[in-house]
Structure 1
Amino acid sequence: MKKNRSIYIIAAAALFAMSCNKLVDIPAHPIDQITEGTVFSDSADIMSAVAGVYSNFKANASGGSIGATIVTVNGGQAADELIYAYSSTYVNNAYLADDGTASTLWNSAYTNIYQMNSCIAGISGTSAISDSLKRALVAEMKFDRAFYYFQMVNLFGGVPLVTVTDYNVTATQPRVTVDEVYKLILADLAEARSLLKAKYPSTSGTKYRPNLYTAMALSAKVFLYRQQWDSAAQMVNQILASGLYAMASTPSTVFYQSSNEVIWNLPGSIVSTSNFQTGEGYTLLPSSIYSAPAYQVNPILVNAFEANDLRKATWITQTTLYGTTYNYPTKYKNRTYDAANREAYVMFRLADMYLVLAEAQAHLGNTSDAITNLNIVRSRAGLAGYAGTDEDLLTAIYHERQVEMAFEWGNRWYDLKRTGTIDAVLGAEKSSWKSTAALLPIPSTQIQANPNLIQNDGY
Structure 2
Amino acid sequence: MLSLSNIFNRTFFIRSIGSFFLLLVFCTSCEDFLEPKSQSEFIPKTAEQMNELIVSAIPEPTNSPSLTGGLLDLVTDDIATLDRYIDPRNPAEDLWYSQSYIFGVYGMYSWQPDYSTYMQSNGYWSYDLYSGIYNKLVYVNAPLDYMDKVSGSDELKNYVRAQAYTLRAFYYLHLVNIYGVPYSSAPNGPGIPIRTTASKENRKMTRNTVGEVYDLIVTDLQEAISLFENVEPSYQYRQFRPTLPMALLLLSRTYLYMENWEQAAFYAQKLIDEWPQFQIKNLNDVIREGNTNVHTTDASADADLKRKQTFYKDFLTYNNPDVIWLYSKAADMVMLTAKEMTSSTRLQNNQTYAMITHASNDLLNCYDDKDLRLATYFVRDLFGEPAYTDGGADAPTRPARNYHAYGKMQIRDDGSGIPAINVQRFIPVDDSRTYGQALRITEAYLILAEAKAMLGLPQEAVNALTSLWNNRFAAGTPSSYSAGTDVVTLVRNERRREFCFEALRWFDLRRWGMPRMEHVWYSTSNGTRQTFVLEKNDPGYTFPMPIDILTANPDLSQVPLAGDSRNPM
Q: Post-superposition shift, 1:174?
A: 0.6
Determine the structure 2 residue equivalent to 1:404. 498
Pick from 475, 482, 488: which aligns with 1:387?
A: 482
Determine the structure 1 residue equivalent to 2:515. 423
CA distance in 1, matches of 2:262, 2:378: 35
Match status 1:130 vs 2:135: no
CA distance in 2, matches of 1:5, 1:346: 27
> 1:44-98, CA deviations, whole angstroms, 9 ceiling, x for partnerless residues?
53233111112xx24357xx6344xx2x211101112235672222111114174
> 1:368-403, CA deviations, whole angstroms, 9 ceiling, x for partnerless residues?
1100111222232215155345x7110111011111
Determine the structure 2 residue equivalent to 1:215. 247
Contact 1:248–1:261 (8 Å) recurs in 2: yes
Determine the structure 1 residue equivalent to 2:463. 372
Contact 1:41–1:127 (8 Å) recurs in 2: yes
> 1:239-287, CA deviations, whole angstroms, 9 ceiling, x for partnerless residues?
111222111121646433301111222497xxxxxxxx76547875579
Determine the structure 1 residue equivalent to 2:71. 74
The DSSP-based 3-state class of the residue aligned with 1:380 is: coil
Pair 1:279–1:76, CA change in 2 (3 A): closer
Pair 1:42–1:25, CA change in 2 (3 A): closer
Match status 1:330 vs 2:410: no
The DSSP-based 3-state class of the residue aligned with 2:491 is: helix
Match status 1:181 vs 2:243: no
Determine the structure 2 residue equivalent to 1:271. none
Pick from 114, 127, 151: which aligns with 1:96?
A: 114
Q: Post-superposition shift, 1:200?
A: 5.9
Determine the structure 2 residue equivalent to 1:318. 380
CA distance in 1, matches of 2:539, 2:279: 40
Look at both structures and tell me which one has the larger radius of gyration over its CA atoms.
2
Q: Post-superposition shift, 1:218?
A: 0.3
Determine the structure 2 residue equivalent to 1:110. 134
Match status 1:65 vs 2:75: no
Match status 1:350 vs 2:422: no
> 1:117-139, CA deviations, whole angstroms, 9 ceiling, x for partnerless residues?
112212x2233221111122112
> 1:195-230, CA deviations, whole angstroms, 9 ceiling, x for partnerless residues?
11484649xx85211221110100000001111111
Pair 1:34–1:294, CA change in 2 (3 A): farther
CA distance in 1, matches of 2:115, 2:333: 26
Q: Post-superposition shift, 1:343?
A: 7.1
CA distance in 1, matches of 2:259, 2:233: 30
Pair 1:449–1:280, CA change in 2 (3 A): closer
Pair 1:343–1:257, CA change in 2 (3 A): farther
440-449 vs 396-405, which moves further: 440-449
- Counting matched residue pairs gives 429
The DSSP-based 3-state class of the residue aligned with 2:560 is: coil
Could you say what the CA RMSD is over the residues aligned between the two structures, in angstroms? Answer: 3.8
Q: Post-superposition shift, 1:323?
A: 4.7
The DSSP-based 3-state class of the residue aligned with 1:305 is: coil
Match status 1:39 vs 2:43: yes
Contact 2:110–2:519 (8 Å) recurs in 1: no
Match status 1:438 vs 2:547: no
Give the TM-score normalised by the residue count of structure 1.
Answer: 0.81
Which letter does structure 2 place at the counterpart of 1:307?
D
The DSSP-based 3-state class of the residue aligned with 1:372 is: helix
CA distance in 1, matches of 2:413, 2:109: 27
Pair 1:337–1:416, CA change in 2 (3 A): farther
Match status 1:166 vs 2:199: yes
Determine the structure 1 residue equivalent to 2:183. none
Pair 1:431–1:451, CA change in 2 (3 A): closer
Which letter does structure 1 place at the counterpart of 2:111?
N
CA distance in 2, matches of 1:178, 1:141: 21
Match status 1:121 vs 2:145: yes
Which letter does structure 2 place at the counterpart of 1:439?
T
Q: Post-superposition shift, 1:350?
A: 1.4
Contact 2:368–2:480 (8 Å) recurs in 1: no
Contact 1:200–1:209 (8 Å) recurs in 2: no
Pair 1:338–1:380, CA change in 2 (3 A): farther
229-238 vs 335-344, which moves further: 335-344
Q: Post-superposition shift, 1:432?
A: 2.6
Determine the structure 1 residue equivalent to 2:184. none
Q: Post-superposition shift, 1:318?
A: 2.5
Which letter does structure 1 place at the counterpart of 2:325?
W
Hey, which of these two has a bigger chunk of helix by percent? 1
Which letter does structure 1 place at the counterpart of 2:192?
V
Query: Unaligned 5+ residue runs, structure 1?
Result: 269-276
Percent of paired sites with the same residue:
22
Pair 1:265–1:140, CA change in 2 (3 A): same
Q: Post-superposition shift, 1:307?
A: 1.7
Determine the structure 1 residue equivalent to 2:527. none
> 1:102-157, CA deviations, whole angstroms, 9 ceiling, x for partnerless residues?
752111111111221112212x2233221111122112111101000001110000
Q: Post-superposition shift, 1:345?
A: 4.5
Which letter does structure 1 place at the counterpart of 2:491?
I
Match status 1:11 vs 2:87: no
Contact 1:6–1:34 (8 Å) recurs in 2: no
Pick from 53, 75, 78: which aligns with 1:49?
A: 53
